Amino acid sequence: MGLRFGTDGVRGAAAELSDAFVFALGEAAARTLGSSFVVGRDTRESGPRIERALVAGLERGGAVVSVLGVAPTPAVAWLAARDTICGAVISASHNPWSDNGIKFFGAGGRKLSDEVEAELETLLDELLASVVVESGEEDHDVAVTPDLAPDPVFDAASALRDWTEALLAAVSVPLDGLHVVIDCANGAQSAIAAGVISAAGARVEVLHASPDGRNINADCGSTHPEDLQAAVVASGADLGLAFDGDADRLLAVDEHGVVVDGDHLLALFAADLHARRDLRGDLVVVTVMTNLGFRIAMEELGIEVVETAVGDRYVLEALARTGGSLGGEQSGHIVFADHATTGDGLLSGLQLLDLLHRSGRPFSELAAQSMTQLPQVLRNVAVAHRRSDIAEVLAGPIAAEQSLLGTSGRILLRPSGTEPLIRVMVEAATEAIALEVAGRLAAAVEEVCSA
């Protein structure tokens, strides 16, 4: 098959997710993961078609399916955890509307391990090989004829209410006096977030909450916060919250319109939980891309930093392994393990509002105090073939550059997980130094990979 599992399920151009492919994927998931599923999707134009084919495939595989319709990824994960069933989300997250994808949660709302994904892929390949082919094309009729009807007893509106009530129960409401602007990215959070945050007591202004199937993430949301930055300043709000298309990540904007990324948010949450003795194990889980400034801030507080590969599922695996209660990524995937089994942008937003309300201090002041972000330079070097051993091959040059940086800098070389690129990341005391080191290492990568 052309599409394969990446760091977060199967994702690509929506046209590549043919009915036959999605049907086979659903059947393989039911036969591999379990007999009960809850399914949600974001607001993309291709979502309803893919939903029909996926539900049909899941049912062909013997599963009972509860269909949420448009729903945030964390809502699907929460319901899967509550009911000890499997979950499926049709979304391409922060990608443009023309893309789509499917990701799964195992029974209990946890993302799949590499081993389970490999097993699912093997069965999927077998099922696709058996699809009837006429005149060189797949017979799509197989994919859109469900054997069973979706669970007629399931009440999607009630299920989503249960999730939002759990979110509100996780914070100290009411949050009176706070004024927040939210950007829903014309995605899965569009019909939900404003009501929940208002119910918590805050005053809410809403941007980009009118999805039309093609405007999801379009110049809005966590990948394009410019409108939010301007709106926060213009309205005199205390902060802004930006979600992505499937609402599992959050970026914030302070009262001056400055973006506060996932590293700063994690630092704020870690320090707050540590001070309240609610940070289990006094540790926080992050990825290799997390800024060195975060690590320095945590060291000063006596908080252990556990590092994983890039991808929120690796953060989740480390949290389960260590028993930790907090983890996340620079991109805004933040996991509060006491309340969720995956990143939840709305939960993170409510937790931030709660923290600000308790502190009584401006967001900009708290963010600046949480950590000092070191300049970070990322160079993407195009290569004919990704070398998984690039860091080992260039161990000598890397060590030489690291000795120049000392403890005030950091180097990371890694192949992209999805593109023919080698990523060179350098952090240093100044941007000029980081640029110089990244340039030399990028040249070394080009020399090695062209040899």
pLDDT, tens digit, 9 for 90 and up, residues 79-91:
999 999 999 999 9
Residue 432, pLDDT > 60, answer yes
Closest CA to 308 of 293, 320, 297: 320
DSSP state of 130: T
Q: What type of residue sits at position 19?
A: D
Both tokens of residue 376?
């970070």
Beta strands 137-138 and 133-134, pairing class: antiparallel
Sequence-ordered alpha helix ranges (H) in 135-255: 156-169, 193-199, 226-235
Both tokens of residue 43?
């607001």
Residue 144, pLDDT > 60, answer no
Residue 236, pLDDT > 50, answer yes
| pLDDT attached to residue 384 | 82
pLDDT, tens digit, 9 for 90 and up, residues 378-426:
999 998 877 889 999 999 999 999 999 998 899 999 888 667 889 999 9
Residue 139, pLDDT > 60, answer no
| Candidate list 36, 91, 93, 348, residue with the active-site label | 93
Residue range(s) of every CATH 3.30.310.50 domain in the chain: 376-450
pLDDT, tens digit, 9 for 90 and up, residues 350-371:
999 999 999 999 999 999 999 9
More confident site: 409 or 130 = 409
C-beta of residue 14 within 8 angstroms of C-beta of residue 22 = no
* C-alpha dihedral (388, 394, 399, 404), degrees to nearest 10: -110
| pLDDT attached to residue 2 | 61
Residue 108's region, left for phi above 0, alpha for psi from -120 to 50, else beta, is: left
Residue 1, pLDDT > 90, answer no
Both tokens of residue 251?
């970026």
Long-range CB contacts (< 8 A, 24+ apart) of 304-307? Answer: none
| pLDDT attached to residue 7 | 66
- Write phi, then psi, for 176 (nearest 5 degrees): -60, 140
Is the pTM value of this prediction over 0.85?
A: yes
CA 269 to chain CA centroid, nearest Å: 18
The fold for domain 170-370 equals Alpha-D-Glucose-1,6-Bisphosphate; Chain A, domain 3 (3.40.120)
Out of 33-37, 140-144, 181-185, which region has the weakest mean confidence (pLDDT)? 140-144
| pLDDT attached to residue 146 | 46
Is position 66 annotated as part of the catalytic site? no
Q: Per the CATH hierarchy, to which homologous superfamily does domain 376-450 belong? A: Alpha-D-phosphohexomutase, C-terminal domain (3.30.310.50)
Closest CA to 244 of 222, 268, 229: 222
Out of 44-48, 59-63, 98-102, 140-144, which region has the weakest mean confidence (pLDDT)? 140-144
Residue 147, pLDDT > 70, answer no
Confidence of residue 9 (pLDDT cuts 50, 70, 90): confident
Residue range(s) of every CATH 3.40.120.10 domain in the chain: 5-159, 170-370
Check whether domain 5-159 has CATH 1.10.10.410, yes or no: no
- Secondary structure (DSSP) of 324-343: -SEEE-TTS-EEETTT-SS-
| pLDDT attached to residue 415 | 87
